[in-house]
Structure 1
Amino acid sequence: MAFKLSLKSAPLLKTLADDRKPNSLSSKLRQKRFAVFTKLVKNHCEKTKGLVRIIDVGGTPTVWERNLPLLKQLCPVTQVKVVVANIKDYRTSCIDINCVIANATKMNQFKDKEFDIVFSNSVIEHVGDFEAQKAMANEILRIGKVYFVQTPNFYFPIEPHFLFPFFQFFPLPLKVWLIRNFDLGWRRKAPTLDTALVLINSVKLLTKKQLISLFPQANLFEEKIFSLTKSFILYGESP
């Protein structure tokens, strides 16, 4: 019965999690999240006169095309430039946004403290195992003076990528069976075992304890839904 209810609730969960819809729960959380980030940018702009360089590790230019005008209003005497670093080749027509191809775990093309602010939203859970996540965290701390990193909470009851209750706690055979037989979240059911395993291994959610170990000096903000922590934001100055 619980399993049937979970599948029946999937369309509702997708509606709540669809950040393409401005009134969805996911979009509202992203708006609140960006409000926290803009305060960080404003504080940095007040200290820096001239140019503020932001890098979005693992993001897309669309977010910045939409939000860069707001940042410029907050920093009227400061020029704001954004670099979008992703393993995919993105393009933009905005002259203040530069898209580059980069691996989040090894960004050798960037110098130490090259950027004023490093931004990364829901990326670190996709780069691989904990060693790869540690490598990404080290790169964020290396290339930036200030960082802002968001990632879902491992212990939130609804797994945010497959939109299935407690999916992250299931044994591997059950995960494979679900993915092979049902559309889960934004993912169509996998046609092969190999495809199912790739999908499962593409997400490695982190616990609060693990995140603190990656960013030991960070300020920690917990995004809540009904008193449950949905995700974490870690921000602060790099050592």
Structure 2
Amino acid sequence: MRKLFNWVFDESSNSNSLGNQFRQKRMIFFKKELEKLPKPIKILDVGGYEDFWINAGLNDVGSIHITILNLDARETHFQNFTSVDGDATNLSKYGDNTFDIAFSNSVIEHLYNENQQRKMAKEAMRVGKNFYVQTPNKYFIIEPHYLLPYFQFLPKKTQFLILTKTKLSRLQKWTKEAAQQYLDEILLLSKKDMQNLFPGCSLWEEKFLGMTKSFVAHNFK
């Protein structure tokens, strides 16, 4: 029973979690597009981490180099990975079309406000010849960060009380600090929001039980 709970409620960074299984299914689409591009390929992963690419089977692939950008650089363990520090909303250290792909998975919804999201979108489109930016669907039945139905539409005060006073979210009580941090930073996006942030993009919809679980804005041909 505990394994079942862990499978459902663990963070997507856990390779054995349900969330990670969804991520790997999304990567099937990405890897198909990757195969169409001439090698070598340079990818900028905005806000990602090494384990994500290991799970995708792209570690030690000599024809693909992945630069992983976060607020703080982190240790990497494979020759085709480089970790750098940087700001998703300001990639001025890189010129236009520096990378073959600007990639981001479940990051843009963590930028606090629309202005920051707009800056990130513009930078991804600028530094990448191609871009792939994924985010959960605001109107999906389950809010993905808290794993609660329609939690995103409750008042902030109610959300805070549920997180800190009950174990309804991921079977645990959140600390006040962690709850407030997430409530402050997360701003989910709709289909229309993504189309406005990435004008002229193609929008791939991840489906679950006939419902749209997340969106991927991209410009792959």
Q: TM bucket by the smaller chain?
A: 0.7 to 0.9
Cα distance in 1, alignment partners of residues 77 and 59 from structure 2: 14
What amino acid maps onto 1:222 in structure 2? E
The percentage of aligned residue pairs carrying the same residue is 35
The 5-angstrom pairing of residues 132-171 of structure 1 reads: 132-171=116-155
| Deviation of the 1:15 alpha carbon | 2.9
Q: Distance in 1 between matches of 2:49 and 2:178?
A: 25
Q: Partners of 2:59 and 2:108 in 1: how far apart?
A: 27
> Which residue of 2 is the match for residue 68 of structure 1?
58
SS in 2 for 1:119: strand
Question: 2:196 aligns to what?
Answer: 213
CA contact (8 A) 2:59 2:81 kept: no
- Which of 98, 103, 118 aligns to 2:82? It is 98
Task: Judge conservation of contact 2:101–2:132 (CA < 8 Å) in 1.
Answer: yes
The more displaced of 194-203 and 110-119 is: 194-203
Q: Cα offset for 1:17?
A: 5.1
Asked if 1 retains the 8 angstrom alpha-carbon contact of 2:59 and 2:78, the reply is no
Deviations 1:76-101 (A, max 9, x none): xx822110001133111211110001
1:204: which partner in 2? 187
In structure 2, how many angstroms separate the alpha carbons of the residues matched to 1:143 and 1:186?
40
Letter in 1 for 2:31: T
Contact kept in structure 2, 1:113 and 1:145, CA below 8 Å: yes
Stretches of structure 1 that go unaligned for 5 or more consecutive residues are 1-10, 73-77
Residue aligned with 1:29, SS: helix
User: What's the CA shift string for 1:128-184, capped at 9, x where partnerless?
Assistant: 201100000000001000011110000011110011111100012211211221242
Aligned AA (2:130):
V
- Is the counterpart of residue 30 in structure 1 residue 23 in structure 2? yes
- Higher mean C-alpha deviation, range 78-87 or range 206-215: 78-87
Q: How many residues in Structure 1 have an aligned counterpart in Structure 2?
A: 215
**2:160 aligns to what?**
176
TM-score after normalising by structure 2: 0.88
TM-score, normalization: structure 1?
0.81
